[in-house]
A and B are shown apart, each in its own frame.
Chain A
Amino acid sequence: KNEVEQSPQNLTAQEGEFITINCSYSVGISALHWLQQHPGGGIVSLFMLSSGKKKHGRLIATINIQEKHSSLHITASHPRDSAVYICAVAGGSEKLVFGKGTKLTVNP
């Protein structure tokens, strides 16, 4: 079982819909990262969380340390949000362990 599980694997939405992507992990962590990867490979860091909630524009990330769970929400989704969203955790060592990613497609 992967240490980091994301759901769903694929998500198709209509423009304007509210999107939720979930991430569960099985190890103790010092931080959780949400990353965005566009076709062609470039990865951009969206959030780094160790507790609570963060918001940036239409993106909101939350984490529940006790439940070992994090969610990434996108409000008023737009076709330009189409990408792969990856959850990664920093555990006991200094390396990141990544989920497989959630492929989001937002149709106009």
Chain B
Amino acid sequence: DTGVSQNPRHKITKRGQNVTFRCDPISEHNRLYWYRQTLGQGPEFLTYFQNEAQLEKSRLLSDRFSAERPKGSFSTLEIQRTEQGDSAMYLCASSRDRATDTQYFGPGTRLTVL
């Protein structure tokens, strides 16, 4: 257990539905990252927060995706109008401050879109 938790661990949904995932980072960590990983591939960066500010978003993050970290603590990732191509493992990680700091990963949320 790294201290980063994600809920739910698994989500099965039908195409067109909205889904929301939650990440609880290590409490003193200012940085929170979201990644997506498909089978056989390394994780891909989606977005990251410094406290409550969202500082960078990947081009992978279409307008159907939105992420928040309202009080600089937990974060949510919402996908609207899900598509089959959204099926993946969604990983959250936190670190103290910079990308050069060790990142602690949560167990991930596996999304299956039918």
A interface list, Cβ under 8 A from B: 4, 30-31, 33, 35, 40-45, 48, 50, 86, 88, 90, 93-101
Contacts and interface: CB of A to CB of B under 8 A. Distances in A.
A42 B99 contact: no
Contacts of B25: none
B89 A41 contact: yes
How big is chain B's contact interface, by range? 20 to 34
DSSP class of A's interface residues: helix, strand, loop or mixed?
Answer: strand
Contacts of B108: 41-42
A48 B101 contact: yes
28 contacts: A30-B99, A30-B100, A31-B99, A33-B102, A33-B103, A41-B89, A41-B107, A41-B110, A44-B2, A44-B105, A48-B100, A48-B101, A86-B42, A86-B43, A88-B43, A94-B31, A94-B98, A95-B33, A95-B56, A95-B99, A96-B43, A96-B99, A98-B35, A98-B43, A98-B44, A99-B42, A100-B40, A101-B42
A90 B99 contact: yes
Contacts of B35: 98
